[in-house]
Amino acid sequence: MNRVNLRNLIVTCIVLLLTVSPLSAAVEIKLKDGSKWRGEIADVVELRYMQQGVEVPVQGKLLKVENLYVQVEATTAGKTGPKTIFKSDIVSMKTVGTGAAAPAGTATPSGSGPATANPATTPSVTPSSGAAPAQAAPASTIGVHVLPLEGGVGQEIRRDEFEKMLEYLDTNYGPGQIVVLLVDTNGGAVTETEAINKVTFEMKKRHRVVAWIHKAISAGCAIAAACNEVYFMTEGTAGSVTSWNPGTGKSATGEELERGIAQFARTLEAGGHYPGISAAMKTNPALLSYDKDPVTGDVTWHDTLEGEYDLSGPNDNLCFNSSNALHCGFSDGTADTGEELAKLLNLPKWHEASDYGRKIAKEWQQTWTEAQEELPLIQARLNYKNTGQGDPVIILGTRISLLKELIGWLDRMGPNTSQMFSVKREDLEREIAELRKQVADIKRAQRERN
Amino acid sequence: MKTRILCVLNSVALASALVLGLVPAGHTAFAQDKSAGAQAPATEDILHMADGRVLRGQIISKTKTEVIFEYFDTKVNIKTRLKLAVENILKIEEDVAAGSSPAAPAASPTATPAAGASPKPADKLKAAEERKTYGAARVQTEDPNVPSIYIVPMKGQMGTDINKQVYEKVRDDILEKKPTVVVIELNCQDTEDVLYPRKGKDEQGLVELDTFRDMVNIFQDDLSQFRQVCWVHDSLGISSMVALSWQELYMKPPARLGGLVVAREETGFEKWQDADVRGKMTAAFMAWVKGFLEGGHYAFELAEAMVRPQFTLSATWKGREVTWSLDDTGEYLVDGSDKKTTEFRAKDAEDLCVSDGTAETIEDLALLLGYREFRMVDSAAEKICADYVEDWRRAFEKCETQLEDYKQFLGWASGEDAVKYLGQAKAALENVLSAMERYEAVEYRIGFKYGLDREWFTIQIEIIKERLRSLKSNKPAGGGGGSGGGSFGGGRKP
C-alpha cells in the first residue's frame, strides 16, 4: 500500500475510534513556523493544513487536541462531523469565535470551488499558477502530476523538465506526491538517460514515481525501469536497450557492453526489477526465462532457457509487450485510460492535481519543434538573405545577424540538447568575428576611397 | 494470452442461429398474437422457406408482403417471433396437425443438388439472389430498440486515404449517432497494387506504425463504449496489422488477410549487419507490431509468421482452443514455407479462429453478431471518407500541375517579364505549400514522389522574394544565391 493511502487509513481509523470531548480547556498548539496558537477547546478556529500537498482551509469548533492531532467539527460535502488533522500538517491557525454559539465550520478548498474530476475519459486537471499551490482538491480526491515524455531522449526529453518538476513539487506540494511519467519514445542518448535517472532517483526519495508506457524503447525503457512502478498501455512496448552508434551501425562490445549491462542492471534493481533483464535487453546471446508459481504468482528468473516461459533466446533481444510484461511482473498493470490507471494506483479517481508537468513538457516540445524548423532555414538564409540589396556591408551584416540568431537558438536549447545539432557555438562565434573583420575592412576601404 | 474460441459457423448454423433468435425477442412490436396464452396447440402452421428451412409454429398475421410468424423450437423450447418477407416463402401449410410431417415444397429451387452435380447458371443466379436475403432483417425504422449498425469505410492507401485526420471526423459522427455496433469495413490491397504494377509504388501503404496506432486508438479509446467489429473485405498489406487490433473480426468469403511482409521490408529491421543492432531493431519493431495484436487478443506467433517469412506456422487444437507453433510440429500446417509470410483466406481464418466468422453481406454479419434484425445508421462516414480521398487527391493533382508551372515560370523569368513570372512561380509554390499544410497525404506524396519537403518550399519562396526585391531595386543579387531551383524530382525512395 502506498504512503498516501496508508495515511488516509490511519486518519480514518482514528476518526472512527475517537469520541468528541465536550470539555472546554486551555490548549496550546505549536505550528510549523514555530509560532504557537493558544485557545480553548470549543473555540471556533480557522486553520489551514496540507493535504496531499494541497493547502486546505477549514473552519469549525475545536473538539480535541492530542499529541499528534487535533479534531475540528467541520462540514465536508454537506456532512458535519469531526475532522482529524495532524498537527504537523497545520500551516496556520487562528481563533474566529468562542463558545458553542458558533456554527459548525466548513472545510472548503482555497480556490473558487472544489476541483472536480470529470468522470469521462478526459482527465480533470487543476491548472498550475506559477509558484502558488494548485487549487485544493476535495478530501476524496488525490491527485497525480503527469510529465509527458514524448520524442527522443536528449532531444524532446531531457533532464531539465525532470528537475523543474521536482522543484515544483517540493516547493508547492511537499513529499508524497504521485508523479506519472507518460512514456512514448523510441529512445535516444545514453548520457541524457543517466542524467534523467539521477533526477528520478532523487524524486523517488520523496515521491512516488510511476511510468505509464505507451512506448519505451531503448533509453525510454531505461528511464521507465528506474521508476517505483511500471504500467503499460495495452499496446505498450518496453525494451531493446542495446547501446549502439547510429553513425557506424555498430553495437557496443567488450568492456563497453559489460559496463552498459551493469549500469542498466543497477537501474533495474533500483526499480525493483530482476537485474538479469538488462543483458537480455542489451545483447542477443543473453538468455532469459522464468517460472511462475501458479498459486502465489511468484516469479523465479533464469539466465538460461530452463524456465517455463522464455523471454529471450540466443538470437533475440528482449522487448516486452503489455501481456508478457504483466505476466512476469515487470509491469504492475495495464491501463489505457486515466481512470483505469487510477484504479491500479489505488486512487479513487483520476485527478491531475496540476498541469505543470504537461505545461513544461509542451513548452519544451514547441521549442524543440521550432528549432527543428528554424535552424535549417537560418542556415539556408545565410546564402541568400538580403543579397538583393547588392550592398556588401548589408549582406555581411545580415549574415552576422543570422549567425547570432543561430547562437540564440543554441542558448535556448541549453547545454543538454544543443549537442544534438551539428553546429557549434565556438565555430559560429569565430565566423562572426571573421565577418566583422570583413565589414571593417570594407568600411575602411570605403573611407579611404572617399 | 486470451485464446480465441473456436467458432466454425457453417450455413446450417447460420440458419439455426436465425431461428433461435440470438437477441432477446421483444425489440419489435408485432401484430396481436393470435396464439397468446395458448398451451401446446393441436395444430400448427408450417412455412417452407426459399432457403430450404422448414419453420413450424403459428402465423400471427399476414400481409401482402410479410408474415409475422411465431416459431417454436422444440429442442430448446423457445418461441421466437419472426418477420418474414412473403417472397422468401415458397409454401405455407396452415393448421396442420401438430407434429405431422411437412409436405415437400413443390420444385424448390434451393433444393440441395445431388452430390457432384453443378448448379446451372440460372440456379446460381437465383441462389445468389436468395443469399442477399439470408441473414438478419434490415429494417427501416428509427426505433432505438432496434440494434443499429454504423459502417466505417477504410478503403484505399494506408496512411493517405486511410489516416487519423479522416477518422477524427468520423469519431465525432459516431459519438453523435450512438450506434449499437460500429463496423469497420476494411478493404485495402495497397501492397498488391504495387506487386502487380497496376499502380505505382507511391500507392503502396505507408508503414507508419505510430500513426496507425493513433488511428486505432480513436476507435478503441475514444469510442470504447461502442461494440466494434472489423469486417475484412480484403486486406493485403499493413492494413492487416490494423485489422488484428480488433477483438471481433469477420471476413467476406473471398477476403484475404496478409501481406504483412511489408512491415519487414519497409522498416528494414532485419537488414542491419551488426547482430545486436539487428536483434534490437527486430525486437523493437516486432513488439510494436505485436502491440496491435495485443489489442485484438491474438497470439504473438501470428505476428511473427505474418511479418517474417523465415517462420513456418502450424496449429494444434486443444479442445476449442488453438495453439500456434512457429514450426511444423502442430497438427495442422498452416504455412510450411520459410520463403513467404503467412496469409489467411476467410475459410482458414474462420476455422483457425483468427476470424470470428465469414459474412458475405451486412445481413449475414448482423446475424453473426447476434442481431436478428437491425437498422443502418444514416452515417456521415461514407461521405467524410470519400470527400477526404477525393479532396486530397485533387489537391495533389493540382500541386503536380503547379510544380510544372513553377518550373516553366522560373524558366521564363528573365528580361522584362522577370518580375511577372517570378511572381507567378512564387504563387505556384505557395499554393503547393498550402496544400501540404492542409493535407498530410499531399505532404507525404510530394515527399515520396519528388523528394521535396516543406522546408524546401519555404526556402525557394524566400529566394524568389529576394530576387524580386533585387529586381525592384535594380541591384543584382550578390552572395551565395542559395540552391536556385527549377529542377526537382527523384523522390525519397528508389
Give the domain CATH number at A251: 3.90.226.10
- Whether A125 is in a domain gets the answer no
> Where is B384: in which H helix or E strand?
helix B381-412
Q: Tell me, yes or no, if A377 comes closer than 8 A to chain B by beta carbon.
A: yes
Average pLDDT, whole number, for chain A? 82
Residues B450/B202, Cβ–Cβ less than 8 Å: no
- Whether A290 is in a domain gets the answer yes
- By the 10 Å C-beta count (0-12 exposed, 13-18 middle, 19+ buried), A294 is classed as exposed
C-alpha–C-alpha distance, residues A83 and A81, integer Å? 6
Strand, helix or coil for residue A313: coil
Measured CA distances, B218 to B105, B171, B181, B212 (Å): 52, 7, 15, 10
Task: Indicate if A196 and A287 belong to the same structural domain.
Answer: yes
Q: Which residues of B touch A317 (CB under 8 A)?
A: 276, 279-280, 282-284
Closest CA to B304 of B391, B383, B244, B369: B244
Which residue segment(s) compose the domain that A347 sits in? 134-358
Task: Indicate if A325 and A180 belong to the same structural domain.
Answer: yes
> Where is B148: in which H helix or E strand?
strand B148-155
The amino acid present at B64, given as its one-letter code, is: K
- Whether A113 is in a domain gets the answer no
Q: Which residues of A touch B480 (CB under 8 A)?
A: 382-384, 387
Task: Indicate if A401 and A268 belong to the same structural domain.
Answer: no
Please indicate whether residue B419 or residue A64 has the higher confidence score (pLDDT).
Answer: B419
Task: Indicate if A353 and A215 belong to the same structural domain.
Answer: yes
A77 pLDDT band (50/70/90 cuts)?
very low
Task: Indicate if A174 and A288 belong to the same structural domain.
Answer: yes
C-alpha–C-alpha distance, residues A318 and A310, integer Å? 10
What is the mean pLDDT for each group of 10 consecutive residues in chain B (494 residues)?
A: 36 32 32 38 80 79 81 67 78 79 45 37 45 70 90 94 93 96 94 63 85 94 96 96 97 95 92 96 97 96 97 90 94 94 95 94 94 93 96 97 96 91 97 95 94 95 92 61 45 40
The tens digit of pLDDT for each residue in A164-186 reads 999 999 999 999 999 999 999 99
Task: Indicate if A271 and A354 belong to the same structural domain.
Answer: yes
Q: How far is CA A19 from the centre of its chain?
A: 41
Q: Tell me, yes or no, if A369 comes closer than 8 A to chain B by beta carbon.
A: no
C-alpha–C-alpha distance, residues B286 and B263, integer Å? 9
C-alpha–C-alpha distance, residues A241 and A222, integer Å? 7
Final residue belonging to a domain, choices A87, A106, A125: A106
With CA atoms as reference, the chain A residue closest to B271 would be: A249
Q: What local confidence, expressed as pLDDT, does residue A7 receive?
A: 43
Q: Tell me, yes or no, if B422 comes closer than 8 A to chain A by beta carbon.
A: no
Angle, CA of B211, B216 and B221, to the nearest 5°: 120
Q: Could you say which residues from 449 to 488 on chain B have a Cβ atom under 8 Å away from some Cβ of chain A? A: 455, 458-459, 462-463, 466-471, 473, 475-483
- Binary contact (B462, A381; C-beta < 8 A): yes
- By the 10 Å C-beta count (0-12 exposed, 13-18 middle, 19+ buried), A138 is classed as buried
A318 pLDDT band (50/70/90 cuts)?
very high
Question: Which of A218, A242, A389 faces B475 most closely, judged by CB atoms?
Answer: A389
Task: Indicate if A207 and A333 belong to the same structural domain.
Answer: yes
Final residue belonging to a domain, choices A106, A121, A153: A106
Task: Indicate if A394 and A351 belong to the same structural domain.
Answer: no
Q: Into how many domains does chain A fold?
A: 3
- The string of DSSP codes covering B17-55 is HHHHTSS-S-SS--S--TTTT--S-SEEEEEEETTS-EE
- Binary contact (A389, B467; C-beta < 8 A): no
Task: Indicate if A226 and A188 belong to the same structural domain.
Answer: yes
- By the 10 Å C-beta count (0-12 exposed, 13-18 middle, 19+ buried), B93 is classed as middle
C-alpha–C-alpha distance, residues B261 and B258, integer Å? 8
- By the 10 Å C-beta count (0-12 exposed, 13-18 middle, 19+ buried), A9 is classed as exposed
- Whether A258 is in a domain gets the answer yes
- Whether A377 is in a domain gets the answer no
Q: Which residue has the cell 474566529?
A: A96
Supply the DSSP symbol for B156.
Answer: S
Task: Indicate if A97 and A147 belong to the same structural domain.
Answer: no
Question: Which of A236, A244, A384 faces B480 most closely, judged by CB atoms?
Answer: A384
Domains parsed from chain B with CATH numbers = 29-105 (2.30.30.180), 139-379 (3.90.226.10), 386-472 (no CATH)
Q: What local confidence, expressed as pLDDT, does residue A1 receive?
A: 38
Residues B247/B297, Cβ–Cβ less than 8 Å: yes
Q: What local confidence, expressed as pLDDT, does residue B478 receive?
A: 47
Task: Indicate if A291 and A415 belong to the same structural domain.
Answer: no
The amino acid present at A256, given as its one-letter code, is: E
Task: Indicate if A308 and A178 belong to the same structural domain.
Answer: yes
Closest CA to B51 of B136, B137, B107, B134: B134
Q: Tell me, yes or no, if A326 comes closer than 8 A to chain B by beta carbon.
A: no
B303 backbone dihedrals φ, ψ, rounded to 5°: -65, -45
- Whether A363 is in a domain gets the answer no
Supply the DSSP symbol for A58.
Answer: E
Query: Of A53-57, A197-201, A285-289, A301-305, which range is least confident?
Result: A53-57
C-alpha–C-alpha distance, residues B5 and A170, integer Å? 52
ipTM over 0.90: no
Residue A335 has pLDDT above 80, yes or no: yes
Query: Of A58-62, A350-354, B360-364, which range is least confident?
Result: A58-62
Residue A356 has pLDDT above 70, yes or no: yes
